[in-house]
Structure 1
Amino acid sequence: MKIEGLNIEDNGNNNIIKIDDGSLFRGCKIVLNGNDHFIELGKALLYKGLVLNLKGNNKRICIGESNKNIKGVKIVSIRGDNQVVTIGRNFSCGGLEIQMNDGDECCTIGDNGLFSWGIKIRTSDGHSVVDLDSNIAINLPKDVKIGNRVWVGEDVRFLKGASVPDDCVIGSNAILTKSFTKPNCVIAGFPATVVKSNIRWDRKMPSEYNKKNS
């Protein structure tokens, strides 16, 4: 497979890459080591700086069709097997890094997500924290789930086990360490908490929105 703006290195067996016709790529690359990976990229207005770096086996990356620009997405999974990343339709992004380095973790982002830049998601720590009494690692990986129509500000961190429901706004520099269940909220801070409820967000500028709805 040869696509302008997309460099593909497939160093394994039985790996499948499906790319919808009509997508534009600039400075993108996919590097696959190991076997039985599945990559599916829906048509986007533009993929810029997309990097997929997978080692191990049986990993699945799916990005839905989008009428927006998807920029600076980097998905790295160089340890473990069976990780899954699913990003829904009409996703837009300025910069997102997803790290998955243990095994069997999932990262799910719903439809119509609006992501700023400098955002990071980690489903695992990469190294063990061991309880001295039991000699068992206690920091096991956990899935990260982000709902539909979530607006994420710049430099936000989602740590393992973080979950956000639909129609929420995540304030810049927030660090999410737990599951939130109430939709239509503003979530902000370190560690993140709900700072405002009963909201929805709109892509229009505030002055434009108020003028239209006054």
Structure 2
Amino acid sequence: MKKKIWIILNQSNFLLVFLSKVYNILMFNLKKTKKNIYINRGAFLRKNKIIITGENNKIILNRGVRLNRCCITMTGNNCTLIINDETYIENLNISFEDDYCEIIIGKKCILNGGNMAVAENKSTIGIGDNCLFSRNIDIVTTDSHSILDKNTGQRINYAKSVFVGNNVWIGADVSLLKGAYVADNCVVGRKALVTKEYHEENCIIAGIPSKIIKRDIEWKPERIL
């Protein structure tokens, strides 16, 4: 029944946007923020917390997005969060700690909890379309603290962006650290620690530290018996 209702809503953009506004008012979700931009194009929010202390930040939730029990924190300025059509996210902590950072999440993704943090100026987390994330996924663009060269006093661990391609399945308890890149159609095994770039598609990546353990694979969300 719920699936049929959702199909009907997706066929009418006006009805979807109207019902999302009514739903969000009833759920006491954030509607406006001073000196920041909040755009809801037909998203449904339930029991979320949105905290913005910076300025000139932008949150864009596109049609059919559903957020459940998430926390979004923006302490920086000029940051952007975009979540695209029909993506479902629950129990995820999203934080922006510095300026000009962005997180862009693609269409028809399912994210089942964890932490996602962009820190240090101009760093990005990008997630492609049709991705499936299990629970307790940790994605960060920074080490949070500074590591210095003892001889020169120069910092050696600046932030690096993190990117995940289209149709990627990430298992439980995976960490994607600064500079991580996962190509399209890959699977990342449970508890893997990903610290580098994998541009080869259709692979299984696993281990601590991670490595490619199998090539030329495809994956589907349904069980095939």
Normalising by structure 2, we get a TM-score of 0.85
Deviation at 1:8, TM superposition (A): 2.7
Match of 1:30 in 2: 50
Residue number among 147, 160, 179 corresponding to 1:129 in the alignment: 147
* Residue 165 of structure 2 corresponds to residue 144 of structure 1: no
> Is the Cα contact below 8 Å between 1:105 and 1:142 reproduced in 2?
yes
> Is the Cα contact below 8 Å between 1:168 and 1:187 reproduced in 2?
yes
Q: How does 1:124-203 map to 2 (within 5 A)?
A: 124-203=142-221
* Runs of 4+ in structure 1 over 4 Å off: 9-12
Residue number among 72, 86, 89 corresponding to 2:91 in the alignment: 72
Q: CA 1:6–1:158 in 2, change beyond 3 Å: closer, same or farther? A: farther
* Residue 40 of structure 2 corresponds to residue 19 of structure 1: yes
Match of 1:61 in 2: 81
Match of 2:17 in 1: none
> Is the Cα contact below 8 Å between 2:29 and 2:45 reproduced in 1?
no
C-alpha distance in 2 between matches for 1:25 and 1:6: 9
> Is the Cα contact below 8 Å between 1:146 and 1:165 reproduced in 2?
yes
Deviation string 1:117-161 (CA, Å, 9 cap, x unpaired) is 100101011110000111111000000000000001001000000
C-alpha distance in 2 between matches for 1:169 and 1:127: 30
Deviation at 1:49, TM superposition (A): 1.1
> Is the Cα contact below 8 Å between 1:110 and 1:148 reproduced in 2?
yes
Match of 1:126, SS? Answer: coil
Match of 1:3, SS? Answer: helix
Residue number among 120, 124, 130 corresponding to 1:112 in the alignment: 130
Q: Which amino acid aligns with 1:163?
A: Y
> Is the Cα contact below 8 Å between 1:11 and 1:33 reproduced in 2?
no
Deviation at 1:51, TM superposition (A): 1.4
Q: CA 1:10–1:125 in 2, change beyond 3 Å: closer, same or farther? A: farther
The answer for unaligned runs of 5 or more in structure 2 is 1-20
Q: CA 1:94–1:35 in 2, change beyond 3 Å: closer, same or farther? A: same
Match of 1:40, SS? Answer: strand
C-alpha distance in 1 between matches for 2:144 and 2:65: 34
Question: Structure 1 or 2: larger strand share?
Answer: 1
C-alpha distance in 2 between matches for 1:170 and 1:121: 13
Match of 2:67, SS? Answer: strand
Percent of aligned positions that are identical: 33
After superposition, the CA RMSD in angstroms is 1.8
Q: Which amino acid aligns with 1:73?
A: L
Deviation string 1:3-49 (CA, Å, 9 cap, x unpaired) is 33353396652x1111122x322211211111110110123363211
C-alpha distance in 1 between matches for 2:202 and 2:147: 35
Normalising by structure 1, we get a TM-score of 0.89
C-alpha distance in 1 between matches for 2:28 and 2:90: 13
Greater shift in the superposed pair: 94-103 or 174-183: 94-103
Greater shift in the superposed pair: 46-55 or 142-151: 46-55
C-alpha distance in 1 between matches for 2:152 and 2:88: 49
Match of 1:212 in 2: none
C-alpha distance in 2 between matches for 1:106 and 1:69: 20
Match of 1:3 in 2: 25
The answer for unaligned runs of 5 or more in structure 1 is 208-214
C-alpha distance in 2 between matches for 1:122 and 1:10: 28
Q: Which amino acid aligns with 1:46?
A: R
> Is the Cα contact below 8 Å between 2:100 and 2:121 reproduced in 1?
yes
